[in-house]
Amino acid sequence: MANPHAGEVALVVNGERRLAKLTLGALASLEARLESGSLVALVERFEGGAFSASDVIALLHAGLAACGWDGSESDLAAAEIEGGPMVAAQMAARLLAVAFVVPGDTPDGGV
């Protein structure tokens, strides 16, 4: 079970339940990969609903890799994510939300 207080989310990739978490290393890697060059810009895109499929894949890949998944972004793009693109986008948004929750606050489970 995913622990949102530890910054974890769960998703099913190719029929296998996986945990994802944006560790500091994952965030640094994600920031280096982003075309916008900043996590703030990424958060703003998700808050404004202006994120891309590439943003979703990059976020999910960073979180999955931080939890030991060894697939590439291309592998993830070709994978079957249970619930489809909408669930993938929701899990990416949730990853961002739980990564930046201040202790004592509760993450937005409806993201």
Q: Is residue 34 part of a domain?
A: yes
Q: Is residue 88 part of a domain?
A: yes
Q: Is the pLDDT of residue 97 over 60?
A: yes
Question: Regarding predicted confidence, which is higher, 90 or 42?
Answer: 90
pLDDT score of 111: 43
Q: Is residue 58 part of a domain?
A: yes
Q: Is residue 109 part of a domain?
A: no
What sign does the dihedral 105-94-30-12 (CA atoms) show? positive
Q: Is residue 16 part of a domain?
A: yes
pLDDT score of 107: 52
- In 14-73, DSSP assigns E strands to 16-21
Domain containing residue 86:
4-99
Which residues make Cβ contacts (< 8 Å) with residue 77, sequence separation at least 6?
Answer: 57
Q: Please, what's the largest Cα pairwise distance for the chain?
A: 37
pLDDT band at residue 86 under the 50/70/90 scheme: very high
Structural domains in the chain (count) = 1
pLDDT tens for 3-33 read: 888 889 999 999 999 999 999 999 888 888 8
pLDDT score of 36: 63
pLDDT score of 99: 87
Q: Is residue 31 part of a domain?
A: yes
pLDDT band at residue 42 under the 50/70/90 scheme: confident
